[in-house]
């Protein structure tokens, strides 16, 4: 019983970077912005590695983009993924296009499981995984989490949160939903998207980084896959959200209460 | 016809409130396109829910079948997609709840439709509806157009008013051609986070705690109960396992916009601010005078929450 797992590693702006819109609204200012792997994808890579460590198998990491996206694939290889696939594409891509490309990669690789971040922290669309599952008519389990906390013993031991059935044919996934926590069992192959509390991703070790340089990184041309890539989600204009001006500092609880009661009239 | 189909969400025989906000959004789009507003409700034994929805004046389509008992996207998506084709919908929407965010992209995939997530409002002219939505954790607002014949969207409930009862729509039975035996998703259980407090996204007041609580939410909860408020938390508090994940307020948690939001021991990471900056009045209580939360709080109090919150609760009690 071993699992062949396909994971994604999208290159995004570092969440710690300050994001500013260009004056003409055509994009964001990229000067001085750092880039890294989408944090939700890091969780996906980590989960794939834990599953592989427990059950055996192979972790393949895919990214779509230009030269620089290879950096994110190498980062996942340094964490421990086995090989990478860079699908070369320049220019904007929406979840319709991303899922079309990933569906082609799926057909070539025939993995047992695809794990993606639930959303990328740049365009925050939260669609690619579900869209991919729809294209491939595969079961989906989005927003994967686990019942144990990130401070738990299971987490310390790097136990996978996704639980493979004894026969290796299905996966139990705990999901965060409104009002509680739900468990789904999906038959493999399946598509899973990761939420924040599934795991704490590992850091790459120095030997891991050295080894990653020698791992296979295959390149494909998106244009050669026979899929339509022109964005259907067309971004017309970006703008800064209305800023909220800070108010006043109050000296003590007495003053806070009188402001809330007398001025804002909310209590 | 340029009709609009809104997917309702029901739980335990009741319509989720977020659906009423999605209905308003749907009505706005229908007004623009000149189409009719349709509502899909899926489940098992949902007759009363369908009747209730008809009271909002939309054409209700009830997909009532055992195979739809649980909200499995694999089972629900083909029913919604089929219905969207049957009613000739150009726009298919839902509230951006966990249910909507799971289901609608799969529906979009089946319809090969482009989708806008977490829509805050509509733009464009006439029937050419564009969608305003947040990107980069709410640091950027984008206006997007969807260039496919069918357009799918989810809306942030707090940005649209709840629909009011008006007229009486017809309830018709929707086709369900999903074979339970062919499903490869099995519902294996649900653990409800029970609370006597109001629902976080629907509460008039929210009291939230963060790292500054050091895991002790008692003062947060006591103040919340004094105010009949919901309890929220920052990601740090949830990640530490101090409180249920259902309490998380933020871009990746719940987005709230109550009349009063009290942030106690929360520094104010961008991620958290994205989930609460739409609140009418924001109060911050933090020991650190340089905490970023003070930059957007209407009233900031530099104090130890373990002293300030009980004192505030006491004052509230006495003022009654």
What is the SS3 assignment for A6-74?
EEECCEEECCCCCCCECCCCCCECCCCCCEEECHHHHHHHHHHHHHHHHHCEEEEEEEEECCCHHHHHH
CA B167 to chain A, closest CA, distance in angstroms equals: 30
pLDDT of residue A111: 98
Interface of A with B in 11-70 (CB under 8 A): 13, 15, 19, 21, 28
Is residue A180 scored above 90 in pLDDT?
no
CB-based contact B266:B232 (threshold 8 Å): no
Whether B189 is covered by a domain: the verdict is no
Confidence category of residue A18, pLDDT binned at 50, 70, 90: confident
Using a pLDDT cut of 70, give the percent of chain A over it. 100
**Burial level of A175, CB count in 10 A (0-12/13-18/19+)?**
buried
The residue extents of the domains of chain A are 3-263
CB-based contact A55:A266 (threshold 8 Å): no
Average pLDDT for A99-115: 98
Assess whether B97 and B142 both reside in one domain.
Answer: yes
Contacts of B229 in chain A (CB under 8 A): none
Assess whether B139 and B286 both reside in one domain.
Answer: no
Q: Is B112 on the interface with A (CB under 8 A)?
A: yes
Contacts of A233 in chain B (CB under 8 A): 114-116, 144, 146-147
Assess whether B144 and B16 both reside in one domain.
Answer: yes
Mutate to test the interface with B, among A244, A261, A262 (most CBs of B within 10 A): A244
CA A117 to chain B, closest CA, distance in angstroms equals: 12
Name the residue with higher pLDDT: A119 or A1.
Answer: A119
Q: Is B144 on the interface with A (CB under 8 A)?
A: yes
CB-based contact A36:A72 (threshold 8 Å): yes
- The C-alpha atoms of residue B311 and residue B320 are separated, in whole angstroms, by 15
Where is the domain boundary, B182, B214, B229? B182
Assess whether B175 and B220 both reside in one domain.
Answer: no
Contacts of B197 in chain A (CB under 8 A): none
Containing structural domain, residue B302:
200-318
Of A175, A178, A232, nearest to B97 by CB-CB distance is A178
Assess whether B33 and B163 both reside in one domain.
Answer: yes
pLDDT of residue B152: 98
CA B142 to chain A, closest CA, distance in angstroms equals: 4
The per-residue pLDDT of chain A, averaged, comes to 95
Whether B191 is covered by a domain: the verdict is no
Report the CATH number of the A3-263 domain. 3.40.50.620
Whether B111 is covered by a domain: the verdict is yes
CB-based contact A140:B74 (threshold 8 Å): yes
Give the model confidence (pLDDT) of B6-42 as tens digits: 999 998 889 999 999 999 999 999 999 999 999 999 9
Assess whether B61 and B89 both reside in one domain.
Answer: yes
Beta carbons within 10 angstroms of residue A22's beta carbon: 11
- Tell me how many domains chain B contains: 2
Mean pLDDT in consecutive groups of 10 residues from the start of chain B, 320 residues: 94 92 98 97 97 96 97 98 98 97 98 97 96 92 98 94 93 95 96 85 94 98 96 94 90 87 95 90 97 95 98 93
pLDDT of residue A174: 97
Please tell me which residue of chain B has the smallest CA distance to A21: B140
Average pLDDT for A193-204: 95
Assess whether B82 and B108 both reside in one domain.
Answer: yes
Using a pLDDT cut of 90, give the percent of chain A over it. 90
Whether B190 is covered by a domain: the verdict is no
Of B110, B135, B205, nearest to A134 by CB-CB distance is B110
Beta carbons within 10 angstroms of residue B36's beta carbon: 17
- The C-alpha atoms of residue B89 and residue A265 are separated, in whole angstroms, by 44
Assess whether B109 and B255 both reside in one domain.
Answer: no
- Please state the ipTM of this predicted complex: 0.95
pLDDT of residue B1: 67
Q: Do B299 and A261 touch (CB under 8 A)?
A: no
In angstroms, what CA-CA distances link B303 with A67, B10, B14, B213? Answer: 50, 42, 42, 13
Assess whether B175 and B206 both reside in one domain.
Answer: no
CB-based contact A43:A117 (threshold 8 Å): yes
Assess whether B93 and B206 both reside in one domain.
Answer: no
Average pLDDT for A133-143: 98
């Amino acid at each position: 019983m071993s699992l062949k797992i396909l994971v994604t590693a999208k290159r995004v702006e570092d969440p710690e970077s300050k994001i500013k819109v260009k004056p003409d609204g055509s994009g964001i200012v990229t000067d001085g912005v750092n880039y890294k792997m989408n944090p939700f994808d890091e969780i996906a890579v980590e989960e794939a590695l834990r599953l592989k460590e427990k059950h055996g198998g192979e972790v393949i990491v895919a990214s779509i983009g230009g030269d620089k996206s290879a950096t994110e694939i190498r980062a996942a290889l340094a964490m421990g993924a086995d090989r990478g696939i860079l699908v070369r594409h320049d220019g904007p891509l929406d979840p319709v296009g991303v899922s079309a490309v990933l569906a082609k990669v799926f057909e070539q690789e025939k993995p047992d499981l695809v794990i993606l971040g639930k959303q990328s922290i740049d365009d925050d669309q939260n669609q690619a995984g579900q869209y991919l599952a729809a294209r491939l008519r595969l079961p989906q389990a989005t927003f994967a989490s686990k019942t144990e906390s990130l401070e738990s013993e299971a987490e310390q031991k790097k136990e996978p949160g996704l639980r493979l059935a004894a026969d290796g044919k299905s996966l139990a996934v705990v999901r965060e939903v409104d009002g509680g926590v739900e468990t789904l069992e999906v038959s493999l192959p399946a598509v899973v998207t990761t939420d924040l509390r599934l795991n704490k991703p590992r850091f790459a070790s120095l030997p891991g980084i050295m080894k990653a340089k020698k791992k296979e990184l295959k390149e494909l041309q998106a244009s050669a896959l026979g899929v339509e890539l022109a964005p259907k989600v067309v971004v017309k204009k970006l703008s800064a959200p209305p800023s909220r001006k800070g108010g006043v500092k109050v000296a003590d609880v007495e003053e806070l209460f009188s402001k809330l009661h007398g001025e804002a009239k909310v209590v | 016809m340029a009709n609009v189909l809104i997917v309702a969400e029901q739980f335990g025989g009741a319509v989720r409130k977020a659906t009423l906000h999605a209905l308003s959004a749907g009505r706005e789009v229908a007004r623009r396109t000149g189409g009719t507003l349709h509502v899909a409700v899926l489940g098992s034994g949902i007759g009363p829910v369908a009747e209730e929805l008809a009271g909002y004046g939309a054409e209700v389509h009830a997909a009532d079948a055992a195979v739809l008992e649980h909200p499995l996207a694999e089972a629900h998506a083909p029913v919604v997609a089929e219905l969207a084709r049957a009613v000739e919908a150009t726009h298919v929407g839902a509230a951006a709840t966990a249910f909507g965010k799971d289901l609608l992209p799969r529906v979009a995939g089946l319809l090969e439709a482009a989708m806008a997530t977490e829509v805050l409002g509509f733009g464009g002219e006439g029937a050419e509806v564009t969608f305003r939505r947040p990107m980069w954790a709410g640091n950027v607002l984008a206006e997007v157009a969807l260039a496919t014949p069918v357009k799918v969207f989810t809306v942030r409930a707090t940005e649209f008013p709840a629909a009011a009862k008006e007229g009486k729509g017809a309830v018709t039975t929707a086709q369900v051609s999903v074979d339970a035996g062919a499903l490869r998703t099995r519902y294996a259980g649900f653990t409800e986070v029970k609370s006597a407090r109001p629902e976080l996204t629907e509460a008039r007041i929210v009291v939230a705690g963060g790292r500054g609580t050091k895991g002790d939410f008692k003062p947060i909860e006591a103040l919340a109960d004094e105010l009949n408020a919901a309890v929220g938390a920052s990601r740090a508090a949830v990640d530490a396992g101090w409180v249920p994940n259902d309490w998380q307020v933020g871009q990746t948690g719940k987005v709230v916009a109550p009349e009063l939001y009290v942030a106690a021991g929360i520094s104010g990471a961008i991620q958290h601010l994205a989930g609460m900056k739409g609140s009418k009045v924001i109060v911050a209580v933090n020991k650190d005078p340089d905490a970023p939360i003070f930059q957007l709080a209407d009233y900031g109090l530099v104090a130890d929450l373990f002293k300030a919150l009980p004192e505030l609760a006491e004052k509230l009690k006495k003022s009654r």
